[in-house]
Chain A
Amino acid sequence: MGFTTRFSNPHQFQKLANIMYPWIMAGAALSFAIGLWLALVQSPPDYQQGELVRIMYVHVPAAWTSLQLYTIMAVASAIGLVFRHTLTDVFCIAAAPVGAGLTALCLITGSIWGQPTWGTWWVWDARLTSMLILFLLYLGYIALRHSFEDHERGGKAGALLLIVGGVNIPIIKFSVNWWHTLHQPASVMKLSGPSVHSSILMPLLVMGLAFNLLMFGLILLRMRTVLAERRMEAIAQRMSDEEASLTDRSSPPESAFS
């Protein structure tokens, strides 16, 4: 049994997840502690923006991880469709709200950052617009999954949507950049200060690691929840089926399938 197929069994996966979960969360807590200390205490304030620049240490990792997660979901969906791997769908269900949350965090912190530096909560900047579209992609996936009763059908429909959306992301990115350069507003200040110094880069990378660990920790937690929910559904289904067959002896057994 190969490495990947072994963990397509939900039971095996849960064993592994139970072992990994506390370690990942502990790692997330540790790297958040180090990262936040580096970001909020150690790193110097920006010569133009002062203390305000510290928003970046939440904003940028959120942007990284949200993009990264969508890519992982699209690849996982492709694997799930091709190899009929059952857990990829559970992964995508569990990951989508986390991704939407990260994208929202990125948009909100960006907005809070934009108000004092640009003087407005929102501009139709190319990057902002792309993040907004990414947020819509996450919401669309979540909405699609919620409108299916049947897990298998919903899973396949969702997987196709994720793959098509994944192919679409570079096109969106390119078109929005192009659109933005066409309509370049004059007032927007660009944040191209000095090239990134290591005193800024270090906390940023540690925060990136922390966000990654937290993201995967949360996904693992949610995957366990989804698996538990499905098992509950299966048990409830079986119980109601048994009840029906006990009380309803007069009808032919085929009726259970209708």
Chain B
Amino acid sequence: MKLFLRLLANDLRLLARHKSEWATLMLFFVTVIVLLPFALGPEPELLSRLAPGLIWIAVLLMSLLALDRLFLQDARDGTLDLIRLSPLPLPLLVFSKVMAQIIGMLAGLMLMLPLAGLLLGMEIRQLCVLAASLLLGVPSLVLVGGIVAAVTVAVQRGTALLTLLLTPFYIPILIFAVAATDASAMGGSIRPQLLLEAAILCFLLPLAPLVTAAALKQSD
């Protein structure tokens, strides 16, 4: 555990050193949100009704960008080979890397969310539900995305491929995530939807790093 925390701290420090990449992601997220009213029209009712779905789409697009780079840099400059030589189990290293990415993304999203909500005219309550669904959904996105990123890491120009491969895996996560905000908009209970999201996360949390590590192991 102590070892894992140290690994995680290291990965987080690495992430913090690459501030510009992180800032680009967040800027991308906000840009998508800013563009949407131009595509859909400026009516406040329409925007606030669609807001949770729109924000989720922006998050999905942003996660594609982030996942594309998740292992690519390490694979190119040989870090991955060095990591694999270490006596530590590869799934643990992968898990720490993915967790760092999740923490970075969630922190950024939580910072940007009020702004996005403001731009799309969301109510505070709706925003809180959306934040909860993001907190449970984004880790699942990155965990399952890590698998696909690892599978495609050896492919040249794999971005389009990554998008195609990720779509089937994103759909269940997206369905449950948006269902929570839908339910709250209709005045229903959001508990079952959030629990289902949490169930997906609990399913992915132990398994995804193992598969990701297996995919990285055979990537060269």
Contacts and interface: CB of A to CB of B under 8 A. Distances in A.
A172 interface: yes
Interface string B142-180: 000001100110111010010011011101100110010
Interface string A156-173: 110011001100100110
Interface in B181-220: 182, 200, 211, 214-215, 218-220
Contacts of A147: 152, 155-156, 158, 161
A133 to B, nearest CB: 5
A175 B175 contact: yes
A143 B161 CA distance: 7
A97 B126 CA distance: 44
Given A153-B219, A172-B171, A175-B171, A140 B165 contact: yes
Residue from B158, B168, B215, B218 having most chain A Cβ neighbours under 10 A:
B168
B179 A144 contact: no
A175 B164 contact: no
A144 B211 contact: no
B183 to A, nearest CB: 9
Contact of A182 (B169, B172, B179, B211): B179
Contacts of A20: none
A97 to B, nearest CB: 16
A168 B169 CA distance: 7
Tell me the dominant secondary structure on chain A's binding face: helix
A171 B211 CA distance: 17
Given A148-B155, A172-B171, A182 B215 contact: no
A107 to B, nearest CB: 15
A160 B165 contact: no
A182 B218 contact: no
Tell me the dominant secondary structure on chain B's binding face: helix
A178 B208 CA distance: 24
Range, interface on chain B: 20 to 34
A70 to B, nearest CB: 11
Given A139-B164, A182-B182, A171 B200 contact: yes
A164 B169 CA distance: 9
Contacts of A165: 168
A153 B147 contact: no
Contacts of A174: 172
Contact of B175 (A137, A144, A176): A176
A157 B161 contact: no
Contact of B219 (A144, A157, A175): A157
A161 to B, nearest CB: 5
Interface residues of A, number: 25
A107 B147 CA distance: 29
A136 interface: yes
B197 to A, nearest CB: 11
B164 A140 contact: yes
A174 B154 CA distance: 33
A37 interface: no
Nearest to B176: A175
Contact of B215 (A160, A175, A176): A160
A165 B164 CA distance: 13
Contacts of B176: 175
Interface string B72-85: 00000000000000
Interface of B: 147-148, 151-152, 154-156, 158, 161, 164-165, 167-169, 171-172, 175-176, 179, 182, 200, 211, 214-215, 218-220
Given A133-B168, A168-B169, 11 more contacts: A140-B168, A144-B152, A147-B161, A148-B154, A157-B151, A164-B211, A171-B172, A175-B171, A175-B176, A178-B175, A178-B179
21 contacts: A133-B168, A133-B171, A137-B168, A140-B161, A140-B165, A140-B167, A144-B161, A148-B154, A153-B218, A153-B220, A157-B152, A160-B211, A160-B218, A161-B151, A164-B147, A168-B169, A172-B168, A176-B171, A176-B172, A178-B179, A182-B182
A-B pairs, 5 with minimum CB distance = A175-B172, A156-B218, A140-B165, A179-B175, A147-B155
